[in-house]
Amino acid sequence: MKKISIYSTLFLTGILLLNSCKKEFDTPPLKTVNDGAQLSIQQLKARVPSSPSSFKFGMGDTNLYATIIADETSGNIYKQLFVKDDLGAAIQLNLVNSGGLFVGDRIRINLNKLYVINASSMIYIDSVDIEKSVVKISSGTAVTPKVVTMSEILAGTVPTNSNSLQGQLVQINNVEFIPNAIIPTFADAIGKATVNQYIKTCVAGQSLTVRSSGYANFASKLLPTGNGNFVAVVTQYNSTMQLTIRNYNEIQMTGPLCGSGPPPAGTYLTKNFDDNSITSGGWSSQNVNGTINWTTATFGNQTFAKITNFVASANVPCETWLISPALSLATSTNPILVFQNAYKFAGAPLQAYISTNYTSGAPSTATWTNLPFTLSSGNYVFVSSGNISLSAYKVNNVRIAFKYSGTSTDGSTWEIDDVLVKE
């Protein structure tokens, strides 16, 4: 009986010991996000007001909540994302590793130990490790591009950390590509080289760089040959504003090119020389003296009319007119003439004239009135002529002309572009 009692005691003790060794598996504590440390994108950009400059976040929960507006799917963007916060500001993320997040994903970025960098006027968050610093909150958030004008984008060419369009997904309407005979595709798909192409508006003479990677899935596609709408992300390199395509299917440019259809309402004349023709659209060139003619020329992304009397290392005497087709301003309200002009070298200034009784042939067969305008300061810098009022000429058969003169001892090289008569 004594042995049974001892065994019973040992058995009960063992049960107690086993029970005391069992571990309670409590729910692990979740890390609480300190929402009081949230920052907006504009607040981030304010940390690096100058270029080059950077700001490093220390330890502690500092978070950015944002939605992805452009990802790496097309191959035109690599190890980068573009995001927009709830206040509408956008910024570029440079990634440690590629992949894993897509347009419409809403994310929280822990900014601990990350850098915000302003390099060449482009501000971005650097070395973002998706696995360590990013939490995906949801997917499928609708992303709509912001409809803007080219002028609004170009307004950001003065480097500033407050550029509201930098990093934004935008849509520009009524634009077209400037033809490139040397590289007619978006990029060099064979050499895997990045290429700059250019889009322009119809009447303002403005253009923007479209920068595409040779690794993009649309690199080998020909540039669109029509006018239409263009969706891309706005980036910046120093004072140059650039566009980065996120999806080839968002380029809808199949409409009539500038000048190929009826002009917009209130437009009586438009000539941008992008077709490499001086006389298209009813224009004519008249040699009063000599054989020097107007030609077209291209520099960078701009095609324009050009004339010079410097031939074979010598100045040649000449007087050459470039005359517009007949315009009807009889029903106009407040017509104006505006154009771009540039020059270099010493010589007589370019002159602009207007006539209401010219028909054809020599300019001397008609009466011409000089139209004062703002002249370029030289060195091939294009300036606007300013708005030249034509209200005194609201009749039919109105002609605009440009007169170039040179002598045997001097002569400037003059260039004109984007001639426009409108309300």
Helix (H, G, I), strand (E, B) or coil at 6: helix
What integer pLDDT is reported at residue 278 of this predicted model?
A: 94
Q: Which of the four pLDDT bands, split at 50, 70 and 90, describes residue 20?
A: very low
Taking the C-alpha atoms of residue 98 and residue 132, their distance in angstroms, rounded to an integer, is 14
Three-state SS string over 179-224 comes to: CCCCCCECCECCCCECEEEEEEECCCCCEEEEEECCCCCCCCCECC
| 32-72 pLDDT, tens digit each | 545 547 899 999 899 888 888 999 998 877 899 999 999 99
pTM of the shown model: 0.61
Band of the pLDDT at 14, cuts 50, 70, 90?
very low
pLDDT score recorded for residue 9: 46
- DSSP result, 128-183: E-HHHHEEEEES-----PEE--HHHHHGGGS--TT-TTTT-EEEEEEEEEPP-SS-
Express each pLDDT in 280-297 by its tens digit. Answer: 889 999 999 999 999 999
96-120 per-residue burial string, b: 16 or more CB within 10 A, e: under 16: eeeeebebebbbebbbeebbbbbee
| Cβ pair 328, 382 in contact under 8 A | no
Q: Which of the four CATH numbers 2.60.120, 3.30.559, 3.40.50, 2.40.50 does domain 146-255 have?
A: 2.40.50
- Dihedral (Cα; 356, 362, 368, 372), 10-degree rounding: 120
pLDDT in tens, 356-391: 999 999 999 999 999 999 999 999 999 999 999 999
At 13 the pLDDT is 46
pLDDT digit string, tens, across residues 390-400: 999 999 999 99
pLDDT digits over 224-247, tens only? 989 899 999 999 998 899 999 999
Q: What is the rounded distance in angstroms from the CA atom of residue 303 to the CA atom of residue 292?
A: 19
Tell me: pLDDT of 18 over 70: no
Q: What is the per-residue pLDDT for 204?
A: 60
Backbone angles phi, psi at 107, to 5 degrees: -135, 160
Which helix or strand (DSSP H or E) is residue 111 part of?
A: none
Rounded Cα–Cα distance for residues 126 and 330 (Å): 61
3-state secondary structure of 93: strand
Question: What is the structure's pLDDT at 173?
Answer: 93
- Tokens linked to 145: 């591009």
So what CATH class is 35-138?
Answer: mainly beta
How far is 304 from 341, CA to CA, in rounded Å? 9
Residue 12 has pLDDT above 60, yes or no: no
Angle CA(272)–CA(197)–CA(238) in degrees, nearest 5? 100
Question: CA nearest 343: which of 295, 315, 307, 393?
Answer: 307
Higher pLDDT pick, 125 / 274: 125
CB atoms within 10 A of CB 415: 25
The residue count for the chain:
423
| Domain spans of the chain, in order of start | 35-138, 146-255, 267-422
Answer yes or no: is pLDDT of 4 > 90. no
Residue 17 has pLDDT above 70, yes or no: no
Class (C level, CATH) for 267-422: mainly beta
pLDDT at position 159, please?
56
> pLDDT per residue over 174-217, tens digit each?
999 988 888 999 999 999 999 999 999 886 668 899 999 999 99
Question: How are beta strands 169-177 and 90-95 bridged, if at all?
Answer: unpaired
What confidence tier does 300 reach under pLDDT thresholds 50, 70, 90?
confident
Distances (CA, A) of 59 to 64, 182, 261, 345: 15, 52, 61, 61
Q: Please check whether the two domains, 146-255 and 267-422, share a CATH topology.
A: no
Q: What is the DSSP letter of 22?
A: -
Residue 2, pLDDT > 60, answer no
**Residue 16: band (very low, low, confident or very high) from pLDDT cuts 50, 70, 90:** very low
Each residue's pLDDT tens digit, 314-354: 999 999 999 999 999 999 999 999 999 999 999 999 999 99
Mean pLDDT of the chain: 88
